[in-house]
Amino acid sequence: MSDAVSEAYNNDSYPAMSHPAGHPAVMAASALLGGLKTSEVGKARILEIGCSSGHHILPIAAAFPDTSFTAIDISTPAIQQARALADRAGIRNVQFHDADILSWTNHAEPFDYIIAHGFFSWVADEAKTALLRLCHDSLSKNGVAMISYNTLPGWSLRIPLRDIIQTLRRLPSCHDSSIAALDLLESAMRGANSDYGKHLQAIIRDARAKGEQQLKFDDLAPVVDPCYFSQFVHWCRQAGLKYLHESNLAPGSPALLPEGAAPVLQELRADPLLQQQLADFFTGRTFRTSLLCRHDAALQTPDFQTLMRLCVEVLVTLPETGNAVTDRVCDALRATQPQCVSIASWIDQVDSCSPEQAVSVILQLTQLGMVRLRSTPVIFSELIPEKPALSAWNREFLKQHNPVVDAFHLPCQFAADDRAILQSCDGSRSFAEIIDSCKNSGQIDAAHALFLHLGRRGLLL
């Protein structure tokens, strides 16, 4: 194992983050579109590689108490933190292992879902090979793995930023801070009108949004090794794995393609993998969340009834399109929000639109990244309870200054004032008392708005 990689993660904590594309219900729905019918999440065996302090896996484990989870990470402090968090939040169905993927072997049953987010591009080649071997050896017959990675050629445009930050950080005014280096760079580039200048400014904005700690483990990590999609698929094939689909479809939305790309891609319709590689060339995509299965897994185009059982999460404000059928489906979806329920549960209420038409619209919206499909619903009450409480794990995340994780598995950051209010949501104080305590700071309206937001994100128990 690369010493620099293990040292980085043992000496400093990786910023905690949950990843919707690595949620097994999202993986299951996307795998289905690729032709694989996976096991029910509620009865599955799930493995996470590089789990860090458990921020991703713990909320999923809490939501599926009968599912068995295993999670490994090379960082001893991160695993200790994950175990302590699970303990305090009363989550008992995750086994955390402090282990290097190079030497860890699964001695139990195979896994139905394997999640490796933020791992592949940030480790040495031997660990990449070990990950693919583990997926091959440990996936169940209809199991699915999600591996995220940085992609070329899009990512190569960001490589100079690493060198620039490392150079600028050394200037006394930057005090060894990457964000200060970015600020300096941005002010130096002010007024730049060249293509290079505009490109750099866009990258600076993106990098700054990550924050100091995230940058350290992302763009500035000891290993940052992006690859072409076609290269990744080739390695997977060599390891006896088959590429299925993407878990997160939004970055591959056809809407992001330049106008002239369609005829070129059309010419390649018999070779969908090459088509995808070309789409990456045309869009400059930087990241993928690829789903893999065993090379001998049985794949089948999903039938209509199976598609009807998929649940739809709305990700954007759905537009009025002027197309009557699409607009009726969008109206029906708006009416289900913020819940994420199966197509079958609302399809009958859509006038003058056959179930087949509705499913076809949903699949188009999915391709466009406007909705996300899940194999299980997300149902909660939006109402503010008399004594509002955050879940035990979210209270723990708050204590550790980490993002809280909403019902859709999105990490949510809050400003300091809002965090103080969230901290008081432990089920011991009434809503009226909490609102009353905001009187002195004149924050009553803001507190009401905050609670409405928390209700819509399914954060209140």
Ligand X SMILES: C[S@@+](CC[C@H](N)C(=O)[O-])C[C@H]1O[C@@H](n2cnc3c(N)ncnc32)[C@H](O)[C@@H]1O
Q: Which residue ranges make up the site for ligand X (CB under 6 A)?
A: 1, 5, 9, 14, 17, 19, 50, 52, 56, 72-75, 78, 100-102, 117-119, 122-123, 127, 217
CB-count burial class (<10 Å; 0-12, 13-18, 19+) for 30: buried
Residue 27's closest CA among 127, 135, 154?
A: 135
The nearest distance, CB 119 to ligand X, in angstroms, is 5
SS3 145: strand
For residues 121, 279, 18, 141, the Cα torsion angle rounded to the nearest 10 degrees is -80
In which element (H, E) is residue 304 found?
Answer: helix 304-308
d(CA 113, CA 25): 10
d(CA 345, CA 313): 14
The nearest distance, CB 176 to ligand X, in angstroms, is 21
The nearest distance, CB 246 to ligand X, in angstroms, is 16
The nearest distance, CB 141 to ligand X, in angstroms, is 26
Based on CB atoms, which residue is closest to ligand X, 6 or 253?
Answer: 6
Based on CB atoms, which residue is closest to ligand X, 119 or 393?
Answer: 119
Q: Which tokens in the block code for residue 305? A: 């009834």
The b-or-e profile of 207-221 (16+ CB within 10 A means b, else e) is bbebeeebbbbbbbb
Based on CB atoms, which residue is closest to ligand X, 66 or 125?
Answer: 125
β-strand partners of 70: 47, 95
Based on CB atoms, which residue is closest to ligand X, 204 or 405?
Answer: 405
The nearest distance, CB 161 to ligand X, in angstroms, is 18
Based on CB atoms, which residue is closest to ligand X, 8 or 362?
Answer: 8
β-strand partners of 114: 47, 145
Based on CB atoms, which residue is closest to ligand X, 127 or 454?
Answer: 127
The nearest distance, CB 22 to ligand X, in angstroms, is 7
Residue 68's φ and ψ, nearest 5 degrees, are -105, 130
Cis peptide before 172 (omega within 30 of 0): no
Are the beta carbons of 121 and 150 closer than 8 angstroms? Answer: yes
Q: Which tokens in the block code for residue 215? A: 């940058």
The nearest distance, CB 177 to ligand X, in angstroms, is 20
The nearest distance, CB 404 to ligand X, in angstroms, is 15
CB atoms within 10 A of CB 196: 11
Task: Tell me the C-alpha to C-alpha distance, in Å, between residue 374 and each of 57, 314, 364, 370, 441.
Answer: 17, 11, 15, 14, 41
CA angle 205, 210, 212 (to 5 degrees): 110
The nearest distance, CB 102 to ligand X, in angstroms, is 6
Based on CB atoms, which residue is closest to ligand X, 1 or 268?
Answer: 1
Based on CB atoms, which residue is closest to ligand X, 222 or 427?
Answer: 222
Based on CB atoms, which residue is closest to ligand X, 251 or 455?
Answer: 251
The nearest distance, CB 60 to ligand X, in angstroms, is 13
Based on CB atoms, which residue is closest to ligand X, 256 or 410?
Answer: 410
Q: Which tokens in the block code for residue 424? A: 């008081």
Are the beta carbons of 397 and 412 closer than 8 angstroms? Answer: no
